[in-house]
């Protein structure tokens, strides 16, 4: 209910500013434009798109000046949209609730995707985020229930909170090395079965993978913090592989509700693990290339497969 009221508030503001004019709002058959103080235009309002207009190409300029931002849209029949290179910002709630939207092409000029920008786009199955995008705000793809394929560009540094919240059909994703933080609830309720985490990630936030379907997760040596209940209720999760040669801080009950969880496999030896002053909240196995000297858990690779010594 709050989400709907919040969206309605933005629509009312947009209509007010276009009608009574803090800045001049020009009309296109389906689009409305506001002239900003810097002399560029942004799309400021929504319109009812007919089925004949379901495929939209946003113009790169209007009245001879560039279109650099997309504000709040609400096009019920919109099925595809091409965003030109002139656009720098896909604004807050830009395409939120466009339940028929199936295809999005993002131009090379976009640097920011705002909060709830594609929230509730139930028909959207895939999207490619170009390298120039550096900021994806919270809830950007919230409840895109049919999301299956996401290609993240190399400009993104943070997967913010709830970015892919309840994207139930998103089963695989690759995080580039540029990503440093996986935010709180970033993938909560998604269908993730496999994830490749790039070598730049330092922090995994609270509940980041809550209720996901992950079975095995390999964490790069860059990870230094795994926050509270990061893998909460991942019922299929069995193993986590991590470096363990550097200090790693675990939050509270990181693996709470992981009913199938077996152990952490550290790529470090027992001596390296202790030298880093590490401790584990769950059972752990250390790496050993030779037959271990005692009955503790040790492992090694056999044909690139993790194999327990004992």
For residue 122, list its beta bridge partners.
none
Domain edges within the chain = 1-156
Q: Which CATH superfamily is domain 1-156 in?
A: Ribonuclease Inhibitor (3.80.10.10)
Asked whether the beta carbons of 294 and 310 are under 8 A apart, the reply is no
How confident is the model at residue 51, as a pLDDT? 60
- pLDDT tens per residue across span 188-203: 999 999 999 999 999 9
Asked whether the beta carbons of 237 and 282 are under 8 A apart, the reply is no
**Stated pTM of the model:** 0.86
Q: Please compute the mean of the pLDDT values over residues 101-127 and round it to a whole number.
A: 95
- Residue 145: pLDDT band (50, 70, 90) is very high
Q: What is the maximal distance between C-alpha atoms in the chain?
A: 80
Helix (H, G, I), strand (E, B) or coil at 66: strand
**Portion of the chain with pLDDT greater than 90, in percent:** 74
pLDDT at residue 6 tops 70: no
Q: Please compute the mean of the pLDDT values over residues 165-189 and round it to a whole number.
A: 97
pLDDT at residue 7 tops 70: no
Q: Which residue has the higher pLDDT, 126 or 30?
A: 126
- Residue 84: pLDDT band (50, 70, 90) is very high
Q: Please compute the mean of the pLDDT values over residues 259-285 and round it to a whole number.
A: 94
CA gap 54, 243 in Å, rounded:
49
**Portion of the chain with pLDDT greater than 70, in percent:** 86
Q: Please compute the mean of the pLDDT values over residues 291-307 and round it to a whole number.
A: 88
Q: Which residue has the higher pLDDT, 60 or 18?
A: 60
How confident is the model at residue 35, as a pLDDT? 83
CA angle 249, 250, 251 (to 5 degrees): 120
């Amino acid at each position: 209910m709050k989400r709907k009221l919040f969206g309605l508030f933005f629509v009312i503001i947009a209509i007010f500013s276009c009608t009574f004019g803090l800045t001049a709002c020009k009309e296109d058959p389906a689009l409305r434009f506001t002239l900003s103080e810097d002399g560029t235009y942004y799309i400021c309002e929504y319109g009812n798109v007919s089925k004949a207009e379901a495929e939209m190409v946003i113009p790169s300029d209007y009245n001879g000046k560039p279109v650099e931002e997309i504000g709040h849209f609400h096009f019920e029949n919109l099925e595809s949209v091409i965003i030109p290179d002139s656009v720098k910002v896909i604004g807050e709630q830009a395409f939120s609730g466009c339940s028929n939207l199936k295809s999005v092409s993002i131009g090379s000029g976009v640097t920011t995707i705002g909060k709830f920008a594609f929230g509730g786009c139930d028909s959207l199955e895939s999207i490619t985020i170009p390298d120039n995008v550096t900021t994806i705000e919270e809830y950007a793809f919230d409840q895109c229930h049919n999301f299956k394929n996401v290609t993240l560009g190399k400009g993104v540094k943070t997967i913010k909170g709830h970015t892919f919240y309840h994207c139930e059909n998103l089963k695989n994703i690759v995080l580039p090395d540029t990503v440093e933080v996986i935010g709180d609830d970033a993938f909560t309720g998604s269908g993730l079965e496999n994830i490749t985490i790039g070598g730049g990630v330092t922090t995994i936030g609270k509940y980041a993978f809550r209720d996901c379907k992950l079975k095995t997760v390999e964490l790069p040596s860059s990870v230094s913090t795994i926050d509270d209940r990061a893998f909460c209720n991942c019922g299929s999760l069995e193993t986590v592989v991590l470096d363990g040669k550097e200090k790693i801080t675990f939050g509270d009950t990181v693996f709470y509700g992981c009913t199938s969880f077996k152990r952490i496999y550290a790529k470090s030896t027992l001596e390296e693990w202790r030298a880093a002053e590490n401790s584990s909240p769950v059972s752990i196995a250390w790496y050993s290339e030779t037959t271990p000297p005692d009955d503790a858990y040790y492992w090694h690779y056999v044909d690139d497969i993790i194999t327990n010594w004992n």
